[in-house]
Amino acid sequence: MKDILDSEPVRVIDLPKPPVRNRCLDFFKGIAVLGVVFVHITFPGKFGKCMSAIGSCGIILFFLISGYHAYGDREEICPKLMKRFRRNLLLTLTAIAVYFAVSYIEHRFFDRDLKIWLRTFTKPAFYLRLLFPCDLEAIHGDPLWFICALLGAYLFFWVMHKLRLMRFAKFAMPLLILFRICMETYKYAADKDWRFCSNVFVAAIPLMTLGYCIAESKETCLRIPAAVSAGCGIVSLICLFLLVIYTPFRWNITQIFKLAAAVSAFLFAMKRPEKRIFPPLCTLGGACSLHVYLWHMPVIVLLYLYCDRIRHPEYMSTWYMPLIVAAAAVLIAALIVSVSHIFKKQKTA
User: What residues contact residue 22 under an 8 Å CB cut-off, 6+ apart?
Assistant: 269, 270, 273
Q: Do 154 and 209 form a contact (C-beta atoms < 8 A)?
A: no
Q: What is the pLDDT of residue 210?
A: 98
Sign of CA dihedral 130, 143, 49, 289: negative
Give me the helix-helix angle, 320-348 and 289-310, nearest 10°.
130
When mean pLDDT is compared across 16-25, 83-92, 126-135, the lowest value belongs to 16-25
Contact 127, 134 (CB under 8 A): no
Give residue-wise pLDDT tens across range 196-227: 999 999 999 999 999 999 999 999 999 999 99
286-318 pLDDT, tens per residue?
989 999 999 999 999 998 888 877 766 665 567
Query: Of the segments 3-7, 121-125, 154-158, 242-246, which one has the largest average pLDDT value?
Result: 154-158
Spatial separation of the C-alpha atoms in residues 205 and 165, rounded to whole Å: 14
φ, ψ for residue 114, nearest 5 deg: -60, -45
Q: How many CB atoms lie within 10 A of CB 209?
A: 28
Least confident of 103-112, 181-190, 192-201, 218-227: 103-112
- What is the full DSSP assignment across 311-324? T--GGGGTTHHHHH
Instruction: Read off the amino acid at residue 144.
Output: L
Is the Cβ–Cβ distance between 40 and 296 less than 8 Å? yes
Residue 330 pLDDT more than 80?
Answer: yes
Q: Which residues contact 148 (CB under 8 A, 6 or more apart)?
A: 92, 134, 200
Q: Can you give the pLDDT at residue 313?
A: 63
What residues have CB less than 8 Å from 243, skipping those under 6 apart? 249, 252, 253, 254, 257
CB atoms under 10 Å from CB of 303, counted, come to 18
Q: Identify the pLDDT of residue 15.
A: 42
Among 136, 158, 200, residue whose Cα is nearest residue 74: 158
Question: What was the pLDDT predicted at 16?
Answer: 44
Q: pLDDT at position 230, please?
A: 96
* Euclidean distance between CA atoms 161 and 298, whole angstroms: 37
Q: What is the pLDDT of residues 43-57, one digit of tens each?
A: 988 999 999 999 999
The distance of Cα 177 from the centroid of its chain, to the nearest Å, equals: 18
The chain-wide mean pLDDT, for the chain, equals 90
Q: pLDDT by residue (tens digit) across 238-254?
A: 999 999 999 888 888 99
Check if the beta carbon of residue 258 is closer than 8 Å to that of residue 197: no
As a whole number, mean pLDDT of residues 337-346 equals: 87
Would you tell me how many other CB atoms lie within 10 Å of the CB of residue 177? Answer: 18
Model pLDDT, residue 39: 94
Q: Is 204 helix (H, G, I), strand (E, B) or coil?
A: helix
pTM: 0.92
